[in-house]
Structure 1
Amino acid sequence: MKKIILFADTGIDDAIAVIYALKNPEVELKAVVAGYGNTDRDRSARNAEYLLELAGQESIPVIAGSTRPLSGEQPEYFPEIHGEEGLGPITPPIPAERFMNRTNFSQLFRIIKENQNELTIVNVGRCTSLAMAWFLSPSVMELVKETYIMGGSFLEPGNVTEVAEANFFGDPIAANFIGQNAPNLTIIPLNVTRKALITPRVVDFIDSVATTPLQQIIKPILDFYYEAYQELEPGIAGTPQHDMAAVMASLGIPELFSYTSKQVKVEYKEGYAEGLSIADFRPGVPECTGAGCVRIATEMDEGIFFVDVLRNLIRND
């Protein structure tokens, strides 16, 4: 079983990643670190706690993370994509104010020390909270076994600018730091996760067999997400599950992803290339080996993805 700490900015695709982690018997979710991104930090933490309550897993801690990027700038949120509260049409019956002034990285560090060399961090939001953890206690963070990040886009357009993906663009300073300093790092980029589609037909099937409160919120939030994506990319067949794909990658599902190894930089200076993820994909350039190398997903098998999604999201035990 994989012990995972999930760093998230709990909007809709993050919520599906949380639901997947809770439903998958191969995952032991140890904590959710909730920061700003798709919505503000307090709503993000509130949404994570709401999902855990629906699952009857209130013992899993929600750790309030960062409120803004390392630059100190005011973050931009995306209510047109994730809804005013971050979960589409759903307003969780928990006050977001409960999470004000509740950043508690000592709890995060305690969990890591109690599970030395056994924990996998999966970061599916901005990299700010993860970078802060490294700044505060690198000796503890070195006890993490491996790190997976959903972020960046290589050799294809971004989704917030011509070149930048949202998680890296939201805090390029933090993304660059993690890309160059976190050991045993794997990046699952936008150009791959765009293929991780769930169609309305699949959503309807999942809803038709849903028996738990956690499963029953999948359709309303993904219907909302699908309508938002039809505005962004008219004609898209479904909603890309960027964040769930990163959780899947951390489980090492055979043949789901193909990888290469490169050094990674993220452009963090203000300008037209801000947030750009950079690696050397020129023909003839060998794969990176040794310290400072990052494993990057390059392809995803959509059939294996589909089977694993159904197997876990319809699970009723």
Structure 2
Amino acid sequence: MPNPIKLIIDTDPGIDDAMAIFYAAAAADIDLLGLTTIFGNVTVSQATRNALRLLEWAGLHDVPVAQGAAKPRALPPFAPSHNVHGSEGFGDMPAETPKGKAIAESAAEFLTRMAREHRGELVLCPIGPLTNIADALDLDPEFATNVARIVLMGGSLEEGGNITPHAEANIYHDPHAAERVFASGARIEMVGLDVTHRILCTAQDFNTMEAAAPRLGGMINKMSRFYLHFYTTVGKHDGCSLHDPAAVIACTHPELFTPRAVPITVACEGETSGATLIATDGRATSQVFVATRADAVKQQYMDVMAQLD
């Protein structure tokens, strides 16, 4: 096996964030260097607490957590997505106080430092709003070229939105930050709704995870019930999308996705705010994943999750 990739996940945990972080903790081809936290599914303080607890549950006590932005760059703050992820982020599971604390550095400071220290090797996987990534680009002009890849969960090229008819939620919650990132010239891979809507986990899949890994798989199974119920409220009864896990899997298994080279711009106002559109200003292209081997992605996820405990 080649050397594991050096990975930082920027996250707002969140049920599918928890699924993604536990996957990264168990995957032999990932060296998880840290988590940075962002508002979105929960407040940033809740996100930091949840990130610390997830790492402690997974036995990764030495992996640092850096707290990031509490609100979007230009827009007013958004309410957390309690209807999707529960009031504390983990469905009906109560909050728990972690033993550890976040490091003193901000998310942007930690990201820029790690990108310098691991220049050309660091893969960054943002699975929430892109505010911390935009802040890192502002803090260090070389950040865009220091990172090897930014593999983000967000956006939609042809699938439409999931929070408005035009916009995917992570991009919608800070479109100005997303536009800063897509205009940066960094090597970007966009894992959006075009592919994540094709990769579904059912209640039986979560039961299978618990059977294979009773402790951590059981936690995910318990969290999933709230998440699956939300999906039924919007008319989707065939399971929940593996949004954030798909992005982490794309970091190490890009062969399971079909990319299209497209320059992306982000609408920042009006009814299309948050839409990811084809840019015409000559900016660098991003690799937008437009198709996926959905069954293979799901099997990869299930195989690694079976090794959790």
CA apart distance, 1:104: 5.1
Alignment pair present for 1:266 and 2:266: yes
Distance of 2:283 and 2:82 partners within structure 1: 40
Distance of 1:141 and 1:263 partners within structure 2: 16
Q: Which moved more, 1:159-168 or 1:303-312?
A: 303-312
Distance of 2:308 and 2:25 partners within structure 1: 11
Structure 1 equivalent of residue 213 of structure 2: 210
CA apart distance, 1:299: 0.4
Distance of 1:58 and 1:93 partners within structure 2: 16
Structure 1 equivalent of residue 32 of structure 2: 29
Alignment pair present for 1:292 and 2:284: yes
Distance of 1:168 and 1:174 partners within structure 2: 8
CA contact (8 A) 2:151 2:247 kept: yes
Structure 2 equivalent of residue 219 of structure 1: 221
Q: Which runs of 5+ in 1 are unaligned?
A: 281-287
Structure 2 equivalent of residue 176 of structure 1: 179
Change (3 A) 1:33 1:240: same
Distance of 2:122 and 2:57 partners within structure 1: 25
Distance of 2:120 and 2:222 partners within structure 1: 38
Change (3 A) 1:110 1:180: closer
How high is the sequence identity, in percent, across the aligned residues? 28
**What pairs up with 1:4-83 in 2 under 5 angstroms?**
4-83=7-86
Structure 1 equivalent of residue 247 of structure 2: 246
Distance of 2:105 and 2:159 partners within structure 1: 38
**What pairs up with 1:122-137 in 2 under 5 angstroms?**
122-137=125-140
| Aligned residue type for 2:223 | I
| Aligned residue type for 2:265 | K
Root mean square deviation, CA, Å:
2.2
Q: Which runs of 5+ in 2 are unaligned?
A: none
| Aligned residue type for 1:241 | L
Distance of 2:165 and 2:110 partners within structure 1: 39
SS in 1 for 2:146: coil
Distance of 1:3 and 1:248 partners within structure 2: 13
CA contact (8 A) 1:42 1:100 kept: no
Q: Normalising by structure 2, what TM-score?
A: 0.93
CA apart distance, 1:10: 1.2
Distance of 1:106 and 1:183 partners within structure 2: 18
CA contact (8 A) 1:13 1:243 kept: yes
| Aligned residue type for 1:238 | G
Structure 1 equivalent of residue 193 of structure 2: 190
Structure 1 equivalent of residue 90 of structure 2: 87
CA apart distance, 1:291: 6.2
CA apart distance, 1:99: 6.0
| Aligned residue type for 1:158 | G
Q: Normalising by structure 1, what TM-score?
A: 0.90
CA apart distance, 1:234: 3.9
Q: Which moved more, 1:64-73 or 1:175-184?
A: 175-184
CA apart distance, 1:102: 6.7
Change (3 A) 1:99 1:114: closer
| Aligned residue type for 1:57 | L
CA apart distance, 1:142: 2.5
| Aligned residue type for 2:52 | E
